[in-house]
Structure 1
Amino acid sequence: MRVAGIAVTLVVHEHKRLGRGIELAALAEQLKGSGIGLDFLTGELQGQHDPSGIVFTVLAALSGMEREYIRDRTLEGHESARKRGKTIGGATVVGDDTLTHAVHLRAQELSLRDIAARLVIAKVKKKGQHPSPATVQRMLRDHDRTTDPAAIPN
């Protein structure tokens, strides 16, 4: 298109859809080097921009800092909730029967993948599906911690 003399502009809903901080600044440099314009429909960068302009770079850096701030505050909230005994995460996908079955299958020395394939979620929106091996691992680890906390290293 550029060979034919047609101007090319990348139109994005909001700058956060492209990336944050350094990622966004690097992308902007690539666009500028290719002669591609940048237009944001919403957000603090709304409008057309020179992808390598100083205002764009500063706002990209600020959005990266904002992301880190949100992440830090979320982690602090999770830690505070754990200290108060609250569970972090979604709904429990396995019940006591499923846990008992998983412990029995582990005693037969099956792999986590094999155990997960033999279990079926009985509640919530994933009803009828198999849990992931990672879910089985967490479930068994939590079971081991509650039954014999001294046997499991922190």
Structure 2
Amino acid sequence: MNALKAAGISRVFSEKISTRATTRPELDKAITLAHEFRAAGVAVTLVVHERKRLGRGLDPAALAEQLRAAGIGLEFLTGDLQGTHDPSGVVFTVLAALCGMEREYIRVRTLEGHESARIRGKHIGGATVTDPAMLSMALHLRDQDLSLRDIAARLIITHGKKKSRHPSPATVLRMLRDHDDAATTIA
């Protein structure tokens, strides 16, 4: 953010979510504001600290078309694409390819790391917050046709750093799925 301010950028939009997210609310706000300025006849350039800050989950070609159609320029302050670019140019073809390659590289390396850790007997993921009593209660609540969110809201973690908090719906889903998979394997 300091680099953007140092470059004289007066309005900074900062995402507080993973760069893998496909929905970028702050980017959408920035583009909406850029459209408003363009409609008033003001030349607009979207300035990004570096290519990776746009997000690995974005489709660069779709973003390029959106910027091109609105007449909005693009500038990267640092990184492999540093400089000002025409969103409809070859840079975005390269950008799209780089983003796709980077996503795949990260995914493959992560899976390789997980597999290597499993082989060495290491546990992947955070500390376990579930226990047999929580599973029993979750199964009971699921039998009452409650949603995962409602089940999670009724469960309490009994140990560890998250003691006295509710598990996430994703944790409840994994716990129930693991139980169902184990029951299927036994049967």
Q: Which interval holds the TM-score relative to the shorter structure? A: 0.7 to 0.9
Partner of 1:40: 76
Gap change, CA 1:116 and 1:8, over 3 Å in 2: closer
Give, in whole Å, the separation in 2 of the partners of 1:22 and 1:133: 26
* Pair 1:14–1:123, CA change in 2 (3 A): farther
TM-score (norm 2): 0.62
Aligned-pair distance for 1:118?
3.4
Deviation digits for residues 90-123 of structure 1, max 9, x if unmatched? Answer: 11113x4xx2253266358445646534321133
Change (3 A) 1:100 1:49: same
Work out whether 1:51 is the aligned partner of 2:97.
no
Structure 2 residue 161 is the aligned partner of structure 1 residue 128:
no
Q: For 1:106, which of 107, 132, 139 is the aligned residue?
A: 139
| SS, match of residue 59 in structure 2 | helix
CA-atom RMSD in angstroms: 3.2
Runs of 4+ residues over 6 Å off in structure 1: 144-148
Distance 1:57 1:107 in 2: 52
Q: 1:140 to 1:59 in 2, by over 3 A?
A: closer
Task: Map 1:80-91 onto structure 2 (within 5 A).
Answer: 80-91=116-127
Residue 72 of structure 1: aligned partner: 108
- Tell me the TM-score normalized by structure 1: 0.72
Give 1 or 2 for the bigger CA radius of gyration: 1
Contact 1:21-1:62 within 8 A present in 2 as well: no
* Aligned mates of 1:93, 1:45 — CA distance in 2: 43
Identical amino acids, percent of aligned pairs: 69
Conserved 8 A contact 1:45-1:56: no
Q: Which runs of 5 or more residues in structure 2 are unaligned?
A: 1-36
Which residue among 113, 119, 128 is the counterpart of 1:92?
A: 128
Report the number of matched residues: 148
Q: Within 1, Cα distance between the matches of 2:40 and 2:170?
A: 53
**How many angstroms apart in 2 are the aligned matches of 1:132 and 1:27?**
33
Q: Which runs of 5+ in 1 are unaligned?
A: none
Deviates more, 1:14-23 or 1:54-63: 14-23
Q: 1:51 to 1:137 in 2, by over 3 A?
A: closer
Contact 2:48-2:76 at 8 Å conserved across structures: yes
In 2, are the aligned partners of 1:39 and 1:47 still within 8 Å (CA)?
A: yes
* Cα offset, 1:132, TM superposition: 3.0
Preserved CA contact (<8 Å) 1:12 1:41: yes
Tell me, yes or no, if the aligned pair for 2:47 and 2:74 is still in contact at 8 Å. Answer: yes
